[in-house]
Amino acid sequence: MTSSILEYVAVRSRSGRRCLLLVASCLLQPVVQPVWAKEAEKPVQALIVFDVSGSMRQSDPRRLSVAAAQLFGNLSQAGDAVGLATFSDRATPLIPVTSGEDASARQALQLSLAKLKFNGQTTDLAAALEAGLAAFPEQEDSGHRRLVLLLTDGEMDLGKDAAEQEAAALARIRTALVPEYHRRGILLYTIAFTNAADREFLKEVAEASAGASRFIADAQTLHQAFSQIFVGAHDAQTFPLGQDGIRIDDSIKELSLVFAKSDPNERITLLTPGQRTVQASDTADGMSWLSTPAYDLVHMQKPQAGVWQIERTDKTQSGVGIIAESTLNLQVEFGATFIETGSKLPIRAFLEDESQVPARLQREEGQTVTAEVSAPNGSIMNVPLTLQADGSSSASTPSLDAAGRYSMTVTVTTPTLQRQRTRTFMVYPDCLHGSVLPRDSLAAPVKVRVALSTSCPEFKSLAIEAEYTSASNAMQRMLLHATQPNLLEADLSSASGGEGAYVSLLIRGESPEEGAFTLTKGPIALPRVAPVAKHTPAMPKDSQSVVAKAGLKLLKINAGLAILGALGYGLYRAVRRFGRGQWKKKP
């Protein structure tokens, strides 16, 4: 059953107060819980904004930051576009984001990065963020994932002559620039390099744009931040590069291996399944090998299936494998896209064979699936997934009690392959408070109410239906309407209530960060009918004296009647005695 609905849009008035606007909308279909949703795959448009202030010479004397940024460009895939801008005293665009995906554009990016000079005098973070906005059109682009990567080793510093302007510049970032990132759907990723960077501020502005921030203390590991951002932006499948070898199955058509190095002179060797030794100076067909002081990047086209052994002098170092193309892919779906504190998030994961038409779920022998959930406070939750009859695996997280951004890495392992996929999600403070108000009688309507707290995001749209289910399973739906700012209500007039009756809230909306979402809250049991207490009106004070006087008068009348009664009774006895002759004298 469908029903005509109205949506309300949460907006801000000039005074900053949230208000509700009613607008016509479409039909609201019944909501099924959970509603599985996976991350949409999109090509990436990225701008690297590089700090070229003079302090970078001391922070990174070997220019490993340049090699780290070059890694991001080398990992880019078909359809991606990567641009470059620098900042210090001012921002300077070098490579436009729309430069294209051909080899010449990527080569131009690598050369521009290699030529960077760290000779700036100040660190103008506002100019850096303005450059990020200027790199993209003002209109939203649903076909690409836009992001800005800001690398800096400092804090806002406009120099001694303009120090009094720094507070205003920081305020403009918070109140004007970052909201514009959010409005345009541009994700801001900040890399706080060394302890001299303003870590708290960089984290604040990144998360406000729905992006993320990373702190890197040592230039040797700076490339890891760029590779992690690349994996997250592409929602790419990965696998770890440990000492037990690399399991490559025949579904993988293209991949990249990134080996982290602590020793710049380390030589890494791979042993193919065919027992051939390959290294940077001697590669196999379809393979390229780039060696830098901080990492080695190995790119493979149609790699040989089987176990590849890794031979390294530094046994403590590892890396990551990034799958660029495969016909067997790990899919991860969440059972909710808008999550509130105290909720449990349903997870569903499966291997999908895209070589079949249509694509179908693939179940491998000895398959295990686990999820590792990282909370905003750094705590880790390990969640094993249970295999289902259709070949998928599912579970629910423990209660997510902390608000903030979570990260989840799902790993599927079989004797012949390993896949990982990392997704992030936001948990909001409890913001949609549903309740059913008490009634005076069973005949009274059931009033359902939803209040929006100040912790709610700025919804683009929101529609809420109350679904009433009686004890006999009869159902009724009613749309909630905005009765005042941040309050929606509905009266279910025919709901009789009784034991076993309840109300569920069916919510559909759209937030700037999560996009369209559906949510079910409840069931909410109907409160017991409150008995109507008989109430006697209080008597006015001036009436109390009148009553007292009347009572006293009545008391006097009763006393007089009592005396008259006694006299009458005495007279009656006297008359009887006279009639019997008792008054005669004795002889």
pLDDT digits 0-9 by tens, 332-347: 999 888 899 998 999 9
Among 49-63, 282-296, 360-374, 490-504, the minimum mean pLDDT is found in 490-504
Mean pLDDT score of the chain:
84
pLDDT for position 555: 67
Q: Are the beta carbons of 85 and 48 closer than 8 angstroms?
A: yes
pLDDT for residue 162:
86
Range among 141-150, 248-257, 506-515 with highest mean pLDDT value: 248-257
pLDDT band at 286 (very low <50, low <70, confident <90, very high): very high
pLDDT at 23: 35
Question: Which stretch of 17-26, 296-305, 316-325 has the lowest confidence by average pLDDT?
Answer: 17-26
* Closest by Cα among 285, 202, 298 to 246: 298
pLDDT of residue 5: 33
pLDDT at residue 52, rounded to an integer: 97
Interval 122-151: pLDDT, tens? 999 999 999 999 999 988 777 889 999 999
Question: Average pLDDT, stretch 405-427?
Answer: 92
Lowest mean pLDDT among 283-287, 320-324, 486-490, 500-504: 500-504
For residue range 531-578, list pLDDT tens digits in order.
555 555 655 555 556 656 666 676 677 667 767 666 766 666 666 666
Average pLDDT over residues 198-217: 93
Could you tell me which of 280, 234, 291 has the C-alpha nearest to residue 71? 291
Find tokens 């608000």 and name the residue: 403
pLDDT at position 540 is 58
Provide the pLDDT for residue 63. 95
Decide which of 528 and 174 is more confident.
174
Q: Is 213 exposed, middle or buried (0-12, 13-18, 19+ CB in 10 A)?
A: buried
Asked if residues 422 and 408 have their Cβ atoms less than 8 Å apart, the reply is yes
Q: Distance (Å, rounded) from C-alpha 90 to C-alpha 159?
A: 12
| CA dihedral of residues 160, 166, 168, 172 (deg, nearest 10) | 140
- Report which of residues 203 and 543 the model is more confident about: 203
The token pair at 293 is 């002081």
Mean predicted confidence (pLDDT) in 236-260: 91
497: pLDDT strictly greater than 60: no
In the chain, what percentage of residues exceed pLDDT 70?
Answer: 81
pLDDT at 27: 34
Nearest to 249 by CA among 130, 401, 419, 406: 419
| DSSP letter assigned to residue 136 | S
Burial class (CB in 10 A: 0-12, 13-18, 19+), 302: middle
Q: Which residues contact 99 (CB under 8 A, 6 or more apart)?
A: 81, 83, 105, 108, 109
Q: Is the pLDDT of residue 472 over 90?
A: no
Looking at residue 547, its pLDDT comes to 57
Sign of CA dihedral 559, 565, 568, 574: negative
Tokens at 238, concatenated: 């990965």
What integer pLDDT is reported at residue 580 of this predicted model?
56
Residue 112 has pLDDT above 90, yes or no: yes
Both tokens of 359, joined, read 């694509």
pLDDT, position 225? 95
Q: Is the pLDDT of residue 76 over 50?
A: yes
Judge contact between 465 and 506, C-beta under 8 A: yes
Q: Is the pLDDT assigned to residue 302 strictly greater than 50?
A: yes
Q: Going by DSSP bridges, is the β-strand pair 346-353/393-396 parallel, antiparallel, or unpaired?
A: antiparallel
| 210: alpha, beta or left? (left if phi > 0; alpha if psi -120 to 50) | left
Structural element, H or E, at residue 552: helix 541-579
Q: Which residue has the higher pLDDT, 47 or 526?
A: 47
Q: Per mean pLDDT, which of 156-160, 359-363, 525-529 is the most reliable?
A: 156-160
Residue 422 pLDDT class (50, 70, 90 cuts): very high
pLDDT at 364: 77
Give 210-277 as a DSSP string.
T-EEEEES-GGGHHHHHHHHHHHHHT-EEEE--TT-EEE-TTEEEEEEEEE-SSTT---EEE-TTS-E
Name 338's bridge partners. Answer: none
Q: Which residues of 462-500 are buried (b: 16+ CB within 10 A; e: fewer)?
A: bbbbbbbbbeeeeeebbbbbbeeebebbbbbeebebeee
pLDDT cut 90: percent of the chain above it:
52
Rounded average pLDDT over 152-165: 91
CA dist 33 to 29, 301, 335, 513, 537, Å? 13, 42, 7, 21, 52
Please compute the mean of the pLDDT values over residues 197-224 and round it to a whole number: 93
